[in-house]
C-alpha cells in the first residue's frame, strides 16, 4: 500500500443541518469524507460535518434524494410529465411503477418550490434557467 497523500478538503460542500452553526456556509473545513457507496447511477460520496456530526451524501437536498432510480430515469420521468405524457405511459417508458412516477413528480415539484423560495428570500436573480427547472408547474392549494 503506497502513500495516499494529503486528505481532500471539501470546501465546496456545506452542512445541510439547519441547527448547525455552519449550515449553508462553504469553505469552513468542517466537512470530511465518510466513505462512498455504489448506486445504479454510479458512486455517491458520503460526508460528515465535524461541527454537528450530521452524516449526508451528494444527493442530500437534491431532487435525486431517496430514489433508487438512475438520474437518467428520473430526468425521463420529469421530461415525460412536463410534455403531457400520462402517468401510466411514463411508467411504461421508464420501466417503473405508476406509483414511482407520482412520487418522483411530487418530489421534483417540491424541490423546485424550495429552490424558487430560496431564490426569492435571497433576492437573487438567476442569470439562466436550466431545462430541469422549467419542467415543473406549481399550484397553490
Q: What are phi and psi of 89, to 5 degrees?
A: -65, -40
- Please tell me the predicted confidence (pLDDT) of residue 141: 47
Residue 84 CB burial class (10 angstroms; 0-12, 13-18, ≥19): exposed
Instruction: Please tell me the distance from the alpha carbon of residue 72 to that of residue 23, in angstroms, as a whole number.
Output: 30
Instruction: Please tell me the distance from the alpha carbon of residue 37 to that of residue 8, in angstroms, as a whole number.
Output: 18
| 8-60 and 61-141 have identical folds | no
> What does pLDDT average to over the chain?
81
73 against 4, higher pLDDT: 73
* 50 and 85 Cβ atoms separated by less than 8 Å: no
Query: Which CATH code for domain 8-60?
Result: 2.20.25
* 26 and 16 Cβ atoms separated by less than 8 Å: no
Query: Which CATH code for domain 61-141?
Result: 1.10.10
Q: In this model, does residue 139 exceed pLDDT 50?
A: no
Instruction: Please tell me the distance from the alpha carbon of residue 26 to that of residue 119, in angstroms, as a whole number.
Output: 18
- Domain borders along the chain are 8-60, 61-141
Q: In this model, does residue 109 exceed pLDDT 60?
A: yes
- Residues 24-61 have pLDDT tens digits of 888 888 999 889 988 887 888 999 999 999 999 988 88
Q: What is the mean pLDDT of residues 2-23?
A: 81
Amino acid at each position: 500500500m503506497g502513500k495516499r497523500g494529503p486528505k481532500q478538503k471539501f470546501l465546496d460542500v456545506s452542512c445541510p443541518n439547519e441547527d448547525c452553526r455552519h449550515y449553508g456556509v462553504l469553505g469552513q473545513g468542517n466537512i470530511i469524507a465518510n466513505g462512498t457507496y455504489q448506486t445504479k447511477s454510479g458512486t455517491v460520496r458520503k460526508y460528515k460535518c465535524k461541527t454537528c456530526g450530521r452524516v449526508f451524501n451528494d444527493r442530500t437536498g437534491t431532487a435525486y434524494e431517496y430514489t433508487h432510480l438512475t438520474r437518467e430515469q428520473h430526468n425521463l420521468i420529469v421530461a415525460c410529465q412536463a410534455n403531457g405524457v400520462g402517468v401510466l405511459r411514463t411508467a411504461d417508458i421508464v420501466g417503473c411503477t405508476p406509483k414511482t412516477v407520482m412520487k418522483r413528480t411530487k418530489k421534483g415539484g417540491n424541490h423546485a418550490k424550495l429552490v424558487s423560495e430560496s431564490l426569492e428570500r435571497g433576492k437573487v436573480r438567476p442569470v439562466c434557467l436550466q431545462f430541469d427547472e422549467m419542467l415543473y408547474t406549481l399550484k397553490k392549494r
